[in-house]
Amino acid sequence: MRVGVLTGGGDCPGLNAVIRAIVRKGVPEYGYSFLGFRDGWRGPLEALTRPLDIPAVRGLLPRGGTILGSSRTNPFAVEGGVEKIRRNLQNLGVDALIAIGGEDTLGVATKLHETGVNVVGVPKTIDNDLNGTDYTFGFDTAVNIATEAIDRLHTTAESHHRALIVEVMGRHAGWIALHSGMAGGANAILIPEVRFDLDQVCQWVEARFQLDYAPIIVVAEGAMPKEGEEVLQSGEKDAFGHVRLGGIGDWLAHRIEERTGKEARTTVLGHVQRGGTPTARDRWLATRFGLHAIDAVHAGKWGQMTALRGTDVVTVPLSEATKELKVVDPGLYAEAEVFFG
C-alpha cells in the first residue's frame, strides 16, 4: 500500500513528530511506502510531492514546523478540485491519505471521505478547539511559550508601574488564554466564549494598582466586549471564510488608559506561539497519534481520526471532530475569575 501524508492549516509544534512516527512504524511493520504531499491540500490538488522514507524523517522529533509545508488551500473552493485530487491520487498510486490538521483541514478530509476517498485524520491545533479529543498536540507548547512571556512581563510591569496586556491566539476558543493566564498569574483573562465588561476590567486594573502591583491582562484575539464586535486586522477572508483577527490588545490598552489614567502597553505573541521546538508532552502525544494513525490505515478505519481520551488514544469519526468547535465551558472560566483583580 502507498500512503500519502499531508499537513494543513497553521503550522504547529509536533507535526514533524507525527510524520516521523507514521513512517517509522509503517515501513518496517506494515511494509508500506509513503509519499508526502506539500503545502496542505494544495499538494494533492496540484500533485506536489516529496518522498517520505525512514532517512527522510530522521532527526525530526525536536523540530518545529513541518517538513511538508502547509497552506490554507480549500479544494472545495476550487472548481473541479475534488476531481483533481481523486485523479492525482490515482495517477500517483496513492491508496490512502493521512491528513494532519485542524478544523479546516479535517473538514476537507471529512467531505473527501464522503466522496469515497480513503482518509484518516490526525488532530492538530495549538488552539485545542477540535472536538472529539481531550487535547491536541501543539497546545502544550503554545501554553508554555505564552506562560513564559507572562512571567517575564510581570517584572517589567512592576518596574514601570504599567498595565500590560498580553494578546494570545484564540479565534473562537480561549484555551490558550485560560491556561497560560492561570499558570502565569494574570489578573484578568478575556476569552471569546464570555464577552467581557470593560468597566469590570478597569476595576480589576485599579484594584491591582491600589495594592502597589502592576496588572497583567491576558486576552485571546477573538475576545469581545459586551458592547462591540471582534477587532479585525483585515476584512479579507481566506479560502475557508475566516477574517484575520488581531488588535484587541491595543484596543483594550487605549480604553484602560482613558478610563483609569494608568499607562498600558500591549504585547502580541502572534506566531511566536507556533514556533520552535515542541515540548516533551507534545512530542509524546504527536508520536502516539502518528503510531495510531498508521494502525488505523492498516485496519481500514476510513473516515476516522485519532483522539486522546484520558490516557488512551482511540479513533473517533471525523464527522464528530469537525461538526462543532470545542470551546471553554463558562463554569471552568468561572473558576479562574476567583483570582482576578
Residues at the binding site are 10, 103, 125-127, 162, 169-171, 221, 265, 271-274
Mark the binding-site residues for substrate, compressed into ranges. Answer: 125-127, 162, 169-171, 221, 265, 271-274
CA 276, CA 62: separation in Å to the nearest integer? 9
Catalytic residue selected from 11, 39, 104, 127: 127
Q: How far is CA 332 from CA 31, 32, 182, 208, in A?
A: 46, 44, 11, 23
Paired sense of beta strands 163-168 and 312-317, if any: unpaired
Q: Is 282 a catalytic residue?
A: no
User: Which residues are registered as beta bridge partners of 49?
Assistant: 37
Beta strands 232-237 and 243-245, pairing class: antiparallel
Q: What is the dihedral of CA 139, 143, 146, 151, to 10 degrees?
A: -170
From CA 79, how far away is CA 185, in angstroms rounded?
Answer: 50
- The residue written with cell numbers 490598552 in the block is 253
Q: What angle do CA 37, 43, 44 make, to 5 degrees?
A: 95
CA–CA gap between residue 326 and residue 270 (Å, rounded) = 21
Residue 76: name the closest of 45, 97, 46, 55 by CA: 45
Task: Report whether 275 contacts 204 (CB < 8 A).
Answer: no
Kindly write down the DSSP assignment for every residue of 261-273, as one continuous string: ---EEEEE-GGGG
Contact 306/121 with Cβ under 8 angstroms?
A: yes
Rg, the chain, Cα only: 21
Residues contributing to the annotated binding site for diphosphate = 10
Per-residue cell: 131: 472536538
Half-sphere exposure of 259 (CA within 13 A, CB side): 16
Q: Which of 248, 265, 252 is nearest to 160 (CA)?
A: 265
The binding site for Mg(2+) consists of: 103
Catalytic residues: 127
